[in-house]
Amino acid sequence: MLRPLIAVILIGLGTASARAQGSPCTYDSCALRVHTRFFSGVSIVQGHEGRRVAKVGMFAPRVDVLSGGSDSVRTHYQAFRSHHNTGGALTLVGALAAGVAGGLAGNSYEDKKTAVWSLLGVSLVFSVWGGAHLAAGNDQLQQSIWFYNRELPR
């Protein structure tokens, strides 16, 4: 007689603690989207209230909800990180080359005209190459978010 009573109590406590562990993640409360502001840049926000999950800068942020998602979500998220980090590095190299070219031009342009124009050409190539990687990364991020949102209950 005592065993069934203990079993009922344990089952009741188990279901109560399972309900208390967290509310279900619905589309309205957990869906991700990309939010862009002029001064604050690009952010990944969640839910209808727009909680910031990550800020996208020159290099790709870690987004736990995407890195812990399904295979499709993770695959596109990892591709986003790879493209975005490569694009950020290439764009940084392009900016550095432009800065060096500007410094040389300000110093003695006529003596270093070939070096200045060569560095500006390198800067343009690296900036365009970086921009292509950033665009590919943005596409991968959008796909990762789409797959994540598709799996949420409505």
> What is the DSSP secondary-structure string of 74-91?
HHHHHHHHHHHHHHHHHH
43's tokens: 């952010």
Beta bridge partners of 34: 44
Please tell me the predicted confidence (pLDDT) of residue 109: 85
pLDDT tens track for 82-140: 999 999 999 999 999 999 999 999 888 888 899 999 999 999 999 999 999 999 999 99
Query: What predicted TM-score, i.e. pTM, was given to this entire model?
Result: 0.79
Domain map (residue ranges) of the chain: 60-150
Minimal CA–CA distance to 119: which of 135, 137, 96, 147? 96
Beta bridge partners of 51: 46
Q: Give 1 or 107, the one with higher predicted confidence.
A: 107
pLDDT at 6 over 60: no
Please tell me the predicted confidence (pLDDT) of residue 16: 41
Please tell me the predicted confidence (pLDDT) of residue 60: 94
